[in-house]
Amino acid sequence: MRSLQFDEIFATLTAVPLSATDLVRLREWIASIADPTECIALIETAARGRPCPRCGCGHVHRCGQASGLQRFRCLGCGRSYNALTGTPLARLRKKECWLTYLQCILESRTVRDAARVVGVHRTTSFRWRHRFVPGAMRDRPATLSAIVEADETYRLESQKGSRHLTRKPRKRGGVARRRGINREHDCLLVARDRSGQTLDFHTGRGQVTAAQLDRCLKPVLPADVLLISDGAVAYRHFAAQAGITHEWVNVKAGIRARGAIHIQNVNSWHSRFKSWLVRFRGVASRYLINYSGWQRMLDARHLTTPGHLLRAAVQPG
């Protein structure tokens, strides 16, 4: 049987009306055709000129290759390393599938859906998610500026995937044993300035405290910032101790804004995060900061291609 040429296949495809389902299948098939050298080239380019990850010495020489990557030997400590040593992606395999998987990250696919598209096992898909996302989400602003809104959102604590529970198991979508915010809830603190720069912090269980605010917010807020929050006492104590100008809105009394004094931007981020999180059918508390960082990364729209994500993920921690 005569093999078809690409031009003949292309002409056939252009003549056939494709449904939305057909287009999705075609895009997935094209995305699965990966050049193994493309990913390695991106990794090597991103790590070019990097000093030894163990001692910081810049005097190195080439020392063979392994797993497709150039190895180097440090003249200071004598240890060898490659471009992924000291990064979240160290010792991961199947590099030819990484760019396809990173496209699934950009599309917010579930673990099983991404595994099906890339052609790996679901446990591999889960492992990659919590290696690539923490690496890429380190692309975050060092400080916030001008007017900063801060507020926290709470989610019921989850030990999903744990082998040893510290409490009695409950069904997914359960409720806390007591009313109100208590130690059964995880606190996710989000600070966002009016330019859209966002920072997120998992402060632990229960309501946020002034000490936690000082630990999370003080390093990222300059002295001339205006901090806006709700009426929680912890923010007032923190602002007074840190010497930061502070305004608050009495949300409990139904006051949403006083002119430019409001926290609607950060609350809007909370709403988008909760809506986006539904597709994953519950996340474990220990991974909550990974998912908030994932949403923050997508919301910022700085990393928009698999190559961008890969270059951010291979930066040392």
Residue 128 structure tokens: 């990659």
Which residue reads 């889960």 in tokens? Answer: 126
- DSSP state string for 43-84: HHHHTTT---TTT----EEEEEEETTEEEEEETTT--EE-TT
Is there a contact between 266 and 280 (Cβ–Cβ < 8 Å)? Answer: no
CB 164 within 8 A of CB 119: no
Single-letter amino acid, residue 42 = L
Question: Which residues contact residue 213 at a Cβ distance below 8 angstroms, ignoring those fewer than 6 apart?
Answer: 150, 189, 234, 235, 238
Query: Which residues lie closer than 8 Å to 74 by C-beta, 6 or more apart?
Result: 52, 54, 55, 57, 59, 60, 80, 81
Phi, psi of 52 (to 5 degrees): -60, 130
Per residue of the chain (317 residues), what is the pLDDT tens digit? 355 677 777 788 788 888 888 888 777 676 656 566 788 888 888 878 888 888 888 888 888 888 788 888 988 888 888 888 888 888 888 888 899 999 999 999 999 999 999 999 999 999 999 999 988 888 888 999 889 999 999 998 888 888 888 888 877 767 777 887 888 899 999 999 999 999 999 999 989 999 999 999 999 999 899 999 998 899 999 999 999 999 999 888 788 888 889 999 999 999 999 999 999 988 899 999 999 999 999 998 888 888 889 888 887 76
pTM of structure: 0.82
Give the count of beta carbons closer than 10 Å to the beta carbon of residue 274: 12
**For residue 39, what is the enclosing H or E element?**
helix 36-46
Q: What angle do CA 11, 17, 19 make, to 5 degrees?
A: 130
CA 170/CA 248 separation, integer angstroms: 37
Phi and psi at 153, nearest 5°, equal: -125, 150
